[in-house]
Chain A
Amino acid sequence: MSQRTERRGGIHVDQSDLLCKKGCGYYGNAAWQGLCSKCWREEYQRVRQKQIQDDWALAEKLQREEEAAYASSHGPQTQPPSQSTPPHPQPGHASLGPFSKFEEKKTNEKTRKVTTVKKFFSPSSRSAPKKETQEGKTPSPSVSRRASFDTDQVSKDFVDFLKNLQKPGREIHKQCRAFIGNMSSKKDLSADELSECVQDFYQNLADRLMGHFKCSSESVEQVMDQVEKYIMTRLYKSVFCPETTDDEKKDLATQNRIRALHWVTIEMLCVSFDEEIPEVSENVVKAITDVIEMDSKRVPRDKLSCITRCSKHIFSAIRITKKEPASADDFLPALIYIVLKANPPRLQSNIQYITRFCNPSRLMTGEDGYYFTNLCCAAAFIEKLDAQSLNLSPEEFERYMSGQASPRCSGSEEDWSSPAPAPTNPVLAQLNQNLEVLSGLSGRQEALMEAAHSLQADLLSWPESVQHEVHDILKKYPLEVLPRSAPAIDDNNDVDNDNLPPPLTPQVV
């Protein structure tokens, strides 16, 4: 450190100027604001850290302000969210939001522990139990209102129904309650085992009614319908789409699949609908509504009747279009089309649920069974659907699937597809507009970031350039201490005083 570095010609720089400003003993560098490399790095980190902290603080402050503003505007309505609040409007069609349902389900799992002992109702009959506590089913506060109302109603109906059966009625009620209690302790079983339990219970109860109480098969069937309704309403929460299965994953896969197939048209599936006829399109809408409604039902039989209603609307639509009764060759493609258009929430879960917990004879035979089988076929077909099944070339299929092309835009099917895109077009237009706005915004943000970066670079290089300038000027005009060549001007010497007029003197008037 004591060694003297070479002196730049004419520039007088003190050694201390070259050293790090922090005084660590190393040499500094102008580019690093006179710091040595080590101190510069430390300083730079410190500044950055501070900036990050400042940003955070600013963000937090903004957030608080926003919350305060929100709270002041919604102040009177906000309530502690822990309690269920009756005035809150319940989602009328929970089926419309499959994801919120998933969310709900998760919430239910969490809030299961919440102990809300509730008196459902007090049945007037002395044969019925005086009180019914929660039986392994604790609805989350957000849905408890409607759910418990449903459950109340079903329990009431069930008790009313059994009251008329007297002794067998009491026996049935006892068995059902015992079974539900049993089931609530079996949550860890797989879905198939649960299904077996329920099916065994149906079978045993039916056998007992037949054998012990000598009931006719007709009345047994009636009783079993009521039992199914009662039991499945109560078990629904724990056995529908249980976490032990991958039903939920399949639901999402199917949903995405159907979404990706949004471009499939009536002609591709060879469906004989003429949606220009108002009656036909009305039936199509009703069919779509029915198949979507299936998800909102809890009892397998109710779900089946939704499917049956949907199917009947499809038959009507075909019959109006073709003016002759529809055959299976017309029906299945039409159902596939309806499923594609409706994208029913939790389709796979519902199919699985019905398969597991419905009376099997109802699924294999009977009208409901026929339509349910068709729905299963439609779901299976959609899963496997490929170019060939739509009479497309593989290239076309790929293009449509990837969204590079749309059959609606090709114009060749203008006359056919004109009614179909009408409802989707405003949505698509809005979507496109939003996308445009978004891409414009992102472009502007990028430009902004670029400008900010260049500004930062400018700012960093500015001291350097100033220093350079100073250097250059110093180089150009080296500091020279000149010897005192001219005599100093003596202010006290009155050489010119004679030329000046005499000073004014104050006069008294």
Chain B
Amino acid sequence: MGEKLPQVQGDPQLRRDTLSRPVRTLRAKMVLLGSSGVGKSSLALRFCKDEFRNTSPTVGCAYLTQVMHLSDVTLRFEIWDTAGEEKYHSVTPLYYRGAHAALLVYDVSKRDTFIRAQVWLRELEKQYVAGSTVLWLVGNKGDLAQHRQVSVQEGQSLANDRGLLFTETSALSGDQVDKLLLAVAHRVYECVGAQQGGLSEWQETPHVDLRRRNHLFASCCKVGP
């Protein structure tokens, strides 16, 4: 609480100059798409496993947050898991509205999930506004090499054809997962964060603290006309 107080004052630009730790926190929305059973939830859990201040433990792994520290900015990822079953396909567009990153996940040991991913991709491309969303193709379950049905080359060439980024991961072993998230974070900040209003600021305490409200405008009243 005491640490946060100085941050309250001034706008982001001001803060960069006045504070020793010039870090802005921006919020970014990431959506996980893919058939059920490809390991979206496991991937999301992996993304967030290090976060000590997790959302309350009773909540499942459908909505998670993870903070990524980049060199000059902090991205607070909100990870939205989606229902992968085909019957919910028609309602999924509601989820990826306003997303900054969309991860298309498939299972390298199941070819049909790869085909489904392409269906998702077509669907996404209909809504896609260039520069507003980072699309990433993710081949999960890379640890199941002996049951592999989709080769790395296939995934890579699909990604190249459609202008996506591509990574193979293993949510089980954690292989490549951290790198993936970091890469996504960089990409999101480069593509979306550069735009005016692309990412909104994140505030730590959106709730009113009654004891502190007297100080709320203490400074701005002196500055104001």
- Show the binding face of A for B, using Cβ within 8 Å: 161, 164-169, 210, 212-219, 221-222, 225-226, 312, 315-316, 318-319, 325-333, 361, 364-367, 370-371, 373, 376-377, 380-381, 384, 388-389
Contacts and interface: CB of A to CB of B under 8 A. Distances in A.
Contacts of B90: 380-381, 384
The interface size bin for chain B is: 35 or more
Contact of A380 (B45, B85, B94): B94
A373 B95 contact: yes
B60 A380 contact: no
Nearest to B80: A370
Q: Which 5 pairs across A and B sit closest by C-beta, in order of nearness?
A: A326-B60, A327-B41, A364-B98, A328-B81, A332-B83
B203 interface: yes
A331 B217 contact: no
Contact of A210 (B11, B36, B55, B217): B11
The winner among A219, A315, A318, A333 for most chain B CB atoms within 10 A is: A219
Contact of B220 (A213, A380, A384, A388): A213
B216 A222 contact: yes
B9 interface: yes
Nearest to A171: B224
Interface of B: 7-12, 27, 29, 36, 40-41, 44-45, 55-56, 58-63, 78, 80-85, 87-88, 90-92, 94-95, 97-98, 200-201, 203-206, 208, 213-214, 216-217, 220-221, 223-225
A326 to B, nearest CB: 3
A168 B217 contact: yes
Contact of A381 (B63, B88, B223): B88
Nearest to B82: A328
Nearest to A363: B98
Contacts of B36: 329
A361 B62 CA distance: 19
B217 A165 contact: yes
A318 B63 contact: no
A327 B61 contact: yes
A361 B41 contact: no
B10 A216 contact: yes
Nearest to A367: B63
A365 B27 contact: yes
Contacts of A367: 55, 63, 78
Nearest to A270: B85
Looking at chain A's contact residues, the main secondary structure is helix
A218 B12 CA distance: 11
B74 to A, nearest CB: 15
Contacts of A312: 56, 58-59
A331 B220 contact: no
A227 to B, nearest CB: 12
A329 to B, nearest CB: 5
Contact of B63 (A161, A215, A370): A370
Given A327-B81, A329-B85, A381-B91, A218 B205 contact: yes
Contacts, number: 149
Given A328-B82, A365-B78, A216 B94 contact: no
Contact of A328 (B11, B58, B62, B206): B62
Given A318-B60, A366-B78, A370-B63, A218 B224 contact: no
A216 B29 contact: no
B220 A328 contact: no
B190 to A, nearest CB: 20
B91 A377 contact: yes
Nearest to A166: B221
Contacts of A217: 11-12, 201, 203
Nearest to B205: A218
A330 B88 CA distance: 12
Nearest to A375: B94
A377 B88 CA distance: 8
Contacts of A210: 11
25 contacts: A161-B208, A161-B213, A164-B214, A164-B216, A166-B217, A168-B217, A213-B224, A216-B8, A218-B8, A222-B213, A225-B208, A318-B60, A326-B61, A327-B62, A327-B81, A328-B80, A329-B36, A329-B83, A332-B83, A332-B88, A364-B29, A376-B91, A376-B94, A381-B88, A384-B91
Contacts of A366: 27, 78
A212 B214 CA distance: 20
A482 B202 CA distance: 128
A315 B224 contact: no
A377 B213 contact: no
Contact of B224 (A212, A225, A333, A361): A212
A319 B60 CA distance: 7
A331 B206 contact: no
Given A168-B221, A325-B61, A219 B29 contact: no
Contacts of B7: 218
A441 B9 CA distance: 77
Contacts of B84: 328-329
Contact of A325 (B10, B60, B223): B60
Contacts of A328: 40-41, 62, 80-84
A164 B218 CA distance: 9
Contacts of B214: 164
A167 B98 contact: no
The winner among A169, A319, A331 for most chain B CB atoms within 10 A is: A331
A315 B206 contact: no
Contacts of A371: 63
Contact of A315 (B41, B58, B200, B201): B58
B58 A216 contact: no
Contacts of B12: 217
A164 B58 contact: no
Contacts of A370: 62-63, 78, 80
A331 B221 contact: no
Contacts of A319: 58, 60
B25 to A, nearest CB: 11
A319 B56 CA distance: 13
A219 to B, nearest CB: 5
Contacts of B10: 214, 216
Contacts of B88: 332, 377, 381
Contacts of B62: 315, 326-328, 331, 370
A331 B224 CA distance: 48
The winner among A168, A218, A326, A327 for most chain B CB atoms within 10 A is: A327
A151 to B, nearest CB: 20
A361 B40 contact: no
Contact of A214 (B55, B61, B83, B220): B220
Nearest to B85: A329
Nearest to B201: A217
A259 B208 CA distance: 41
